[in-house]
């Protein structure tokens, strides 16, 4: 299964919904990704794809410092799952793959 492309992702946090665009791509045979959010751009760490399950973590600094662990299931052009950060309860994650021209 290919997860490469641009994904518009929403994370429903206790502080409101946060939106980001994920760019997932393969470089030198390794799946990599970048998250371009409302406040910062981050490289996705430990990006793993096992069947239809995609996971990674990212360290945000805004609005507060926190390591977020994402665990989503990809079904075609849609993803859903959770993001967990620190003592906060898991936040709902939903996303949709978009053509590159519409993702920015």
Query: What gap in Å lies between CA 62 and CA 59, rounded to an integer?
Result: 10
What residues does each domain of the chain span?
Answer: 5-103
**CATH superfamily assigned to domain 5-103:** Calycin beta-barrel core domain (2.40.128.20)
pTM of the model: 0.88
**Of all residues in the chain, what percent carry a pLDDT higher than 90?**
70
Average pLDDT over the chain reads: 90
pLDDT digits (tens, 9 = 90+) for 33-54: 999 988 889 999 999 999 999 9
């Amino acid at each position: 299964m290919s997860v490469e492309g641009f994904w518009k992702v929403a994370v429903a946090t206790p502080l409101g919904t946060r939106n980001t665009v994920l760019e997932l791509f393969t470089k030198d045979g390794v799946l990599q990704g970048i998250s371009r959010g409302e406040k910062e751009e981050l490289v996705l760490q430990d990006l793993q794809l096992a069947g239809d399950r995609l996971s990674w973590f990212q360290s945000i600094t805004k609005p507060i410092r926190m390591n977020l662990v994402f665990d989503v299931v990809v079904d075609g052009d849609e993803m859903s799952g959770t993001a967990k950060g620190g003592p906060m309860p898991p936040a709902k994650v939903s996303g949709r793959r978009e053509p590159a021209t519409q993702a920015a």
